[in-house]
Amino acid sequence: MSLSMYDASAPRFAQMLRNLDAILAKAAAHAAAKKIDPAVLLGARLFPDMLPMVKQVQIATDHAKGAVARLAGAEVPRYEDTEQSLDDLRARAAKTIAFVESFSAAQLDGSEQRPIALRVGGKDWSFTGQDYLLGFALPNFYFHLVTAYNILRHNGVEIGKGDYLGNP
């Protein structure tokens, strides 16, 4: 049995975004309990040349919504990147989950050979649907998701691998 493009994308994105939402809720509780301004967590970085936590979440959600839209041949919704609180980030995750879950297996399956063209960082990229999903969208999604997790963990939020993986 082969793995469908739908099974490899939409449910995985939605599950991990739900885990991210739970992690962000723990971050908010941590900030309140420790009397830390939540903005400190949003601006936190692992290293000065890395993007802050807020941007990591924004990019992770961008990859999730972009992947399912491109694979389905649909327009990618544009988010304004104006989140200024943990609640704003949770709302963005919820909006992305709803968008990802709006696609059916019929819309994504069969997209393995769909041409996907992107312009990222001033460079043009061309993929087949399968190469895009497996070699670009998923790795970037997980990278930014785990970086957001690591920033929060590094800043004392009591989360662990179980929070990251959730309950599949």
SS3 108: helix
Residues 137, 132: Cα–Cα separation, whole Å: 6
Q: Say what percent of the chain tops pLDDT 90.
A: 96
Q: What is the mean pLDDT of the chain?
A: 96
Count: domains in the chain: 1
The predicted structure's pLDDT at residue 133: 98
What is the tens place of the pLDDT at every residue in 22-48? Answer: 999 999 999 999 999 999 999 999 999
User: Within a 10 A sphere around the Cβ of 32, how many other Cβ atoms?
Assistant: 11
* Position 77 pLDDT exceeds 70: yes
Q: Which residues contact 87 (CB under 8 A, 6 or more apart)?
A: 28
* Contact (CB, 8 A) for 148 and 59: no
* Position 1 pLDDT exceeds 70: no
Domain of residue 27, CATH code:
1.20.120.450
* Contact (CB, 8 A) for 107 and 52: no
* Position 104 pLDDT exceeds 70: yes
* Position 142 pLDDT exceeds 90: yes
Residues 97, 156: Cα–Cα separation, whole Å: 27
Residues 69, 111: Cα–Cα separation, whole Å: 11
Residues 75, 60: Cα–Cα separation, whole Å: 18
Overall average pLDDT of the 72-99 stretch: 97
Q: Say what percent of the chain tops pLDDT 70.
A: 99
HSE-CB at 54 with a 13 A cutoff on CA atoms is 16
Residues 85, 43: Cα–Cα separation, whole Å: 10
* Position 167 pLDDT exceeds 80: no
Paired tokens of 37: 């301004």
Residues 124, 36: Cα–Cα separation, whole Å: 42
The predicted structure's pLDDT at residue 135: 97
The predicted structure's pLDDT at residue 168: 62
**14: domain range?**
5-165
CA distances from 138 to 73, 98, 122, 131, 145 (A): 18, 18, 21, 10, 10
* Position 8 pLDDT exceeds 80: yes
Least confident residue range of 64-73, 94-103, 116-125: 116-125
Instruction: Quote the pTM value.
Output: 0.96
Overall average pLDDT of the 123-135 stretch: 97
